[in-house]
Amino acid sequence: MRKVSRTIWVAALLFCCISVSVAAEHKPRARDLGVPFDGNPGPLNAITDVKGVEVGHTTLISGEGALKVGVGPVRTGVTAILPRGKNSRDAVFAGYFSLNGNGEMTGAHWVEDSGFLDGPVMITNTHSVGVVRDAVIRWKVKRGDADAEGYWWSLPVVAETWDGDLNDINGFHVTAEDAIHALDSAHAGPVEEGNVGGGTGMICNEFKGGVGTSSRTLSTKDGGYTVGVLVQCNYGEREQLRIAGINVGREIPAQKIWKEDTGSIIVVVATDAPLIPTQLKRMARRVTLGLGRDGSYSGNGSGDLFIAFSTANPGAIGPKGLHPITMMPNDELNPLFLATVQATEEAVVNAMVAAETMTGINNHKVIALPHDQLRAILKKYNRLVH
């Protein structure tokens, strides 16, 4: 199976590359559909608007039909977010928040106490967190980050959401190589959204979900900083979905899946504003307010875990000796807090807009958010921008 998977995956990747280049022209995002959002996005409206941030995906799609555990069908993957890019070995200040802990984000204990994120943030499916975690260490070892005697350790940050409704999750199809590929293929520029990377088999508000991203740039008066958000969106109940404040979900009753909120959402917030860990933790907590705008009530089964980091203050983690740091005053954080809320709100909608209808294990089919219906509903409520 492995080999087949590889072959198909390479094909998928090639296809993906092509579709991306085409996408620049054709694949609409939420704003393109006339959905109104507040605030000013950066040039890419993506987490990569924060200079240095790179994102890579490994997408695994193969097989169809009845579930045969260990064989497939496979609908999963890995996403890597590298705060300073894959060639940097510097850490970033960071903070995290757990809105609902029914999920995994390894490495969080040390983010909390050290105030640093030292390495990438990886996102995959629930049952592949372990392989991806150890693979990040392999990747570091391969790059020679450990000292000669091996006196060195690592506590990678790996998060997850559950794709077992479409993917043979108990088949453990993600490999160390898949994780390393996501790291090695990370890049600046536009971020692929929808059915890619860790988001491949995800479901959001009972529509096909996956990866979404958005950004905000602050005015010069507010410091001119950028806030970028990336979500792996797998949470929500159709009935509660709000887009632009309108209960869109309620007006598209077709092909619902769950009886209640089942799923999770991982949110990564990046900024170039010089925030210390205490401030980044507060920023991570604001993600909740963005999800509130989208109608989330964070169900019991949801693993809603958020991490925020700042690319400012390079070199803060070392070497020995006192470190000069630059810090925003707490009194000036409001525009960053608001930007976090706004970019989260939009990234979730972007994930649904980008994702495409998918059929997975046992022919489970999850429909994409129908763009035309979305527009019609927004128009009905006088909320369509164009």
Which of positions 180-239 make contact with its own copies (CB under 8 A)?
none
Site pattern 343..372 for its own copies (x: CB under 8 A): ------------------xx----------
User: How far, in whole angstroms, is CA 279 from its chain's centroid?
Assistant: 21
DSSP 105: B
Please state, in angstroms and rounded to a whole number, the distance separating the CA atoms of residues 78 and 199.
Answer: 8
- Closest distance of CB 163 from its own copies, Å: 10
| CA pseudo-torsion sign 134, 136, 139, 144 | negative
Cα–Cα distance for residue pair 241/204, rounded to 1 Å: 9
Residues 59-98 that bind its own copies (CB under 8 A): 67, 69, 98
State how far the Cα of 168 lies from the Cα of 72, in Å rounded to an integer. Answer: 5
CB of 26 to its own copies, least distance (A): 30
Sequence-distant (≥ 6) Cβ neighbours of residue 124 within 8 angstroms = 76, 77, 78, 79, 132, 158, 159, 160, 174, 179, 198
Tell me, what DSSP letter sits at residue 338?
Answer: H
- Quick check: 147 and 111 in contact, CB under 8 A? no
Name the active-site residue from 128, 298, 302, 310. Answer: 302
Segment 291-320, which members bind its own copies (CB under 8 A)? 291-293, 295-301, 303, 305, 316-320
Helix (H) or strand (E) holding 60: strand 54-62
Which residue lies nearer to its own copies by CB, 124 or 195? Answer: 124
Q: Is 106 in the site for its own copies (CB under 8 A)?
A: yes
Q: How far is the CB of 190 from its own copies (least distance, A)?
A: 27
Whole-number minimum distance, CB 169 to its own copies, in Å?
6
* Rounded least distance, CB 196 to its own copies, Å: 22
The pair of structure tokens assigned to 79 is 């996403």
Judged by CB under 8 A, the stretch of 43-51, 80-88, 106-114, 366-374 that binds its own copies is: 106-114
By the 10 Å C-beta count (0-12 exposed, 13-18 middle, 19+ buried), 225 is classed as: buried
Q: Per CB under 8 A, which of residues 136..165 are in contact with its own copies?
A: 137-138, 141, 146, 149-155, 158, 162, 164-165
Question: Which residue in 3, 220, 254, 329 binds its own copies (CB under 8 A)?
Answer: 329
Residues designated catalytic: 264, 302, 304
